[in-house]
Structure 1
Amino acid sequence: MPNKKIKEEIAMSKRELLKLFQVSQEVGLPLSTIQKHVREGKLKAKKNGREYLVTRIDLNSYLGIESNEDALKKDLEIANLKNKVKTYEYQLKNIKNMINNLDNIIEM
């Protein structure tokens, strides 16, 4: 079932925690800059004892990268809209058939 797999991926990405020095290495910025951005609230981080931890989702948000969760929500919304369009197309087809039937009855 794809929804279960999607939920598991989201949960895993939320659990992935990075220390600030790991964020610094990954982003390519000095540790002091990362610490400053945490203090300023530009980068979300949770304090754990004496260190700060950043989730993968928060790091992606900081970098302006769309998270899996956002992409999955968009994909689900697109699928819902496609289903609605199909339903409306079916309803329109039925209405056209009814109009044709009424035209045929009137012509008799």
Structure 2
Amino acid sequence: KAYTSEEIEEAQGRIEYIYGQINVIRTDALECEQEYNEFEMANVDIVLKYINDQLDNFLPQYEELNERITSTQEEIAKIMSLLQLMKKNPEYKENLDFIEETIR
């Protein structure tokens, strides 16, 4: 079938309308994607802030605990040295062996 010039113009008008709608949809999709990315970044920022806050709260406790562990290790080393000295006295040796084993 041969199309009339009016039918061809009408078809071209429809095609232009469809292209226009496609461009509107593309624009809307890009805006949605941008909004989603901004939303996602906001969520990432919130999570990172939460993690940083938790680390800020945790670090002082960790440092204090680490100092206490170091101090305790130093005290144990002093006690072990003292036990070694005291073991030289036969009177204390048996009891000190037991104490030393308990500490380990």
TM-score scaled by length of structure 2: 0.45
Question: Greater share of helix residues, 1 or 2?
Answer: 2
Between the two structures, name the one with larger relative contact order (CA 8 Å, sep ≥ 6).
1
- Using structure 1 for the length normalisation, give the TM-score: 0.44
Question: By percentage of residues, which structure has more strand?
Answer: 1
